[in-house]
């Protein structure tokens, strides 16, 4: 499959650094890369991990960029690590990179910090001479590797920040990465405000770029009003949730809310997504006596997810802040669901209220509030007319304000300027 294997090519001016590639759960990144490709910007993908998903989306198949994989663990390729380090030591910026890494290591004396420097030395050594700019997805590990490699090769670098990568690393590290990068883009106003508060004199480097949707892949859906009210004996109202079974997605909260619904209310929920908590959640559903009302489908391709949006009556995502600070930014699945005129129920967290206007284009409840979630679920299951009105309003808002073309055009301009060696104007005003 083109673009899905380690490729010997890749003498491009732009290197894109990612934690893993391809990933079924990161279609928003694949969509961005395909859009950059369509705008004539060649790039090479460098991934810190091999793919773990057995399947890929068609969007991955369409990306023609060569892919190179760095060793996930240094012991897996000792000769590659040592030889790359020896050559990297001759690079003009090696001392600056080593100094920055040692400063970080003193504050974060972990094996992961050592691994990042080893990966960075391989990246710095193996980047072709044609490389002019490094662009990382995620502000945590990929940005660390990118920063050390960019310092070593004296190249400019930038980063797209999202959610977990922002909120699960210390403030000092985020501030120093912002200072060292040419620019930082992120996908919600809440993220922008958080990063600017840490940026000091570098606030102009932080800008807002919504991921948005490629409407060529999410064509409008003429949803026919349904009459399902959850009444006993009726066909069940079809609930859908798409997301990994991890703490920040709040599936334990959702299950608890479903368990509080009246026993005679007719509903069925489908969950799409992998995640390490899936078995635990299935056990919880059995304890609540609702296991026979839930289908756990695992990871699915984008075509299958699109079909699920169109078959559902109500989309639910109970996002919350996890114990380690991890949280959603603006989940793409909410935009996808709304693009199909599917009524959405979610939580007022991070960037979700930037998309869903409570009571107008969907419904929001407080994160972690089981009783409130159960109350709204009960009401929406019983009210097909309201579901239809909210779904239509959500679709109109997504298509008017969350298309990805404008954001991709801005990103392409930023990357072209870096490749050309031109000074980048502060992006805060332009991207806000």
Query: Does residue 265 surpass a pLDDT of 70?
Result: yes
Question: Helix or strand or coil: residue 312?
Answer: coil
- Asked if 392 and 411 sit in the same domain, the reply is no
Lowest mean pLDDT among 47-61, 216-230, 341-355, 390-404: 47-61
- Asked if 347 and 408 sit in the same domain, the reply is no
pLDDT category at 359 given cuts 50, 70, 90 is: very high
Lowest mean pLDDT among 32-41, 125-134, 157-166, 209-218: 209-218
Rounded to the nearest 5 percent, the helix, strand and coil shares of the chain are: 45, 15, 40
Q: What confidence score (pLDDT) does residue 6 get?
A: 43
pLDDT tens-place string over residues 317-335: 999 999 998 888 889 999 9
> In 3D, which of 265, 11, 5 has the Cα closest to residue 127?
11
Q: Which two tokens stand for residue 412?
A: 């392409």
- Asked if 288 and 414 sit in the same domain, the reply is no
Q: Looking up tokens 């995640």, which residue turns up? A: 275
Q: What confidence score (pLDDT) does residue 313 get?
A: 98
Q: How many helices (H) and strands (E) does the chain have?
A: 18, 13
Q: Which residues pair with 134 in a beta bridge?
A: 15, 157
Q: Which two tokens stand for residue 146?
A: 């990118």
Query: Does residue 48 surpass a pLDDT of 60?
Result: yes
Calculate mean pLDDT across residues 109-126.
Answer: 97
Q: Is residue 9 part of a domain?
A: no
Q: Is residue 288 part of a domain?
A: yes
**How far apart are the two ends of the chain, measured CA to CA in Å?**
38
Calculate mean pLDDT across residues 285-308.
Answer: 95
pLDDT category at 1 given cuts 50, 70, 90 is: very low
Integer Cα distance of 116 and 271 in angstroms:
35
Dump the DSSP string for 353-414: HHH--BTTTBEEE-TT-HHHHHHHHHHHHT-HHHHHHHHHHHHHHHHHH-BSHHHHHHHHHH
Q: Roughly what angle, to the nearest 10 degrees, separates helices 94-107 and 111-126?
A: 160
Residue 411 — φ and ψ, nearest 5°?
A: -60, -40
Contact 163, 44 (CB under 8 A): no
pLDDT category at 8 given cuts 50, 70, 90 is: very low
Q: Roughly what angle, to the nearest 10 degrees, separates helices 189-199 and 171-180?
A: 90
Q: Is residue 224 part of a domain?
A: no
pLDDT category at 104 given cuts 50, 70, 90 is: very high
Query: Does residue 426 surpass a pLDDT of 60?
Result: no
pLDDT tens-place string over residues 200-244: 999 999 999 988 888 888 999 999 998 999 999 999 999 999 999
| 363-365 sheet: strands from edge to edge | 294-296, 267-272, 237-242, 314-316, 344-347, 363-365
- Asked if 389 and 424 sit in the same domain, the reply is no
Q: Which residues pair with 161 in a beta bridge?
A: 186
Calculate mean pLDDT across residues 60-70.
Answer: 93
Q: What confidence score (pLDDT) does residue 19 get?
A: 94
> In 3D, which of 16, 20, 7, 79 has the Cα closest to residue 42?
16
Predicted model pTM: 0.82
Q: Is residue 218 part of a domain?
A: no
- Asked if 153 and 274 sit in the same domain, the reply is no
- Asked if 192 and 77 sit in the same domain, the reply is yes
- Asked if 380 and 410 sit in the same domain, the reply is no
- Asked if 273 and 394 sit in the same domain, the reply is yes
Q: Is residue 374 part of a domain?
A: yes
| Residue 396 CB partners (closer than 8 Å, separation 6+) | 361
| Residue 284 CB partners (closer than 8 Å, separation 6+) | 252, 255
Q: Roughly what angle, to the nearest 10 degrees, separates helices 94-107 and 141-153?
A: 150
Q: Is residue 8 part of a domain?
A: no
| Residue 372 CB partners (closer than 8 Å, separation 6+) | 365, 366
The CATH code of the domain that includes 321 is 3.40.50.2000
Q: Is residue 271 part of a domain?
A: yes
- Which residues span the domain enclosing 410? 14-211+404-431
Q: Which residues pair with 316 in a beta bridge?
A: 345
- Asked if 185 and 242 sit in the same domain, the reply is no
Q: Is residue 63 part of a domain?
A: yes
The 3-state secondary structure of 209-251 reads CCCCECCCCCCCCCCCCCCCCCCCCCCCEEEEEECCCCHHHCH
Integer Cα distance of 30 and 17 in angstroms:
13
Query: Does residue 390 surpass a pLDDT of 70?
Result: yes
pLDDT tens-place string over residues 164-181: 899 999 999 999 999 999
Domain count of the fold of the chain: 2
- Asked if 67 and 182 sit in the same domain, the reply is yes
- Asked if 95 and 142 sit in the same domain, the reply is yes
Calculate mean pLDDT across residues 401-429.
Answer: 83
Burial 274-286 (b: 16+ CB within 10 A, else e): bbebbeebbebbe
- Asked if 321 and 411 sit in the same domain, the reply is no
């Amino acid at each position: 499959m083109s673009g899905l294997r380690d490729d010997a090519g890749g003498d491009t001016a732009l290197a894109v650094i990612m934690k893993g590639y391809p990933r079924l759960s990161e279609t928003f990144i694949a969509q961005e890369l395909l859009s950059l490709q369509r705008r004539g910007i060649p790039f090479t993908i460098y991934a810190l991990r091999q793919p773990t998903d057995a399947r890929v989306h068609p969007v991955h198949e369409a990306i023609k960029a060569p892919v190179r994989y760095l060793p996930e663990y240094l012991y897996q390729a000792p000769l590659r690590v040592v030889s790359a380090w020896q050559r990297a030591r001759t690079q003009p910026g090696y001392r600056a990179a080593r100094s920055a890494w040692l400063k970080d290591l003193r504050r974060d004396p972990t094996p992961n910090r050592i691994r990042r420097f080893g990966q960075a030395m391989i990246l710095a050594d193996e980047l072709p001479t044609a490389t002019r700019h490094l662009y990382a997805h995620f502000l945590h590990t990929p940005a660390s590797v990118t920063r050390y490699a960019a310092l070593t090769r004296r190249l400019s670098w930038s980063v797209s920040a999202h959610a977990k990568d922002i909120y699960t690393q210390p403030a000092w590290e985020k501030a120093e990465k912002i200072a060292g990068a040419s620019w930082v883009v992120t996908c919600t106003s809440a993220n922008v405000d958080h990063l600017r508060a840490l940026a000091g004199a570098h606030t102009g480097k932080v800008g807002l770029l919504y991921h948005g949707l490629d409407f060529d892949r999410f064509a409008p859906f003429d949803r026919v009003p349904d009459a399902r009210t959850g009444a006993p004996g009726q066909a069940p109202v079809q609930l859908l949730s798409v997301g990994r079974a991890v703490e920040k997605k709040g599936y334990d909260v959702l299950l608890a809310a479903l368990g509080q619904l009246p026993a005679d209310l007719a509903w069925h929920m489908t969950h799409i997504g992998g995640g390490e908590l899936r078995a635990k959640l299935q056990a919880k559903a059995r304890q609540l006596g609702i296991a026979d009302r839930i289908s756990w489908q695992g990871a699915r391709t984008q075509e299958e997810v699109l079909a699920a949006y169109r078959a559902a009556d109500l989309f639910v995502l109970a996002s919350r802040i996890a114990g380690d600070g991890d949280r959603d930014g603006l989940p793409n699945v909410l935009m996808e669901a709304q693009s199909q005129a599917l009524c959405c129920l979610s939580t007022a967290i991070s960037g979700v209220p930037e998309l869903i206007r409570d009571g107008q284009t969907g419904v929001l409840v407080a994160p972690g509030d089981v009783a409130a979630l159960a109350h709204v679920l009960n009401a929406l299951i019983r009210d097909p007319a309201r579901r239809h009105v909210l779904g239509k309003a959500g679709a109109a808002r997504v298509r008017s304000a969350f298309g990805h073309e404008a954001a991709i055009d801005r990103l392409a301009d930023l990357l072209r300027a870096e490749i050309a060696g031109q000074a980048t104007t502060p992006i805060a005003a332009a991207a806000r």
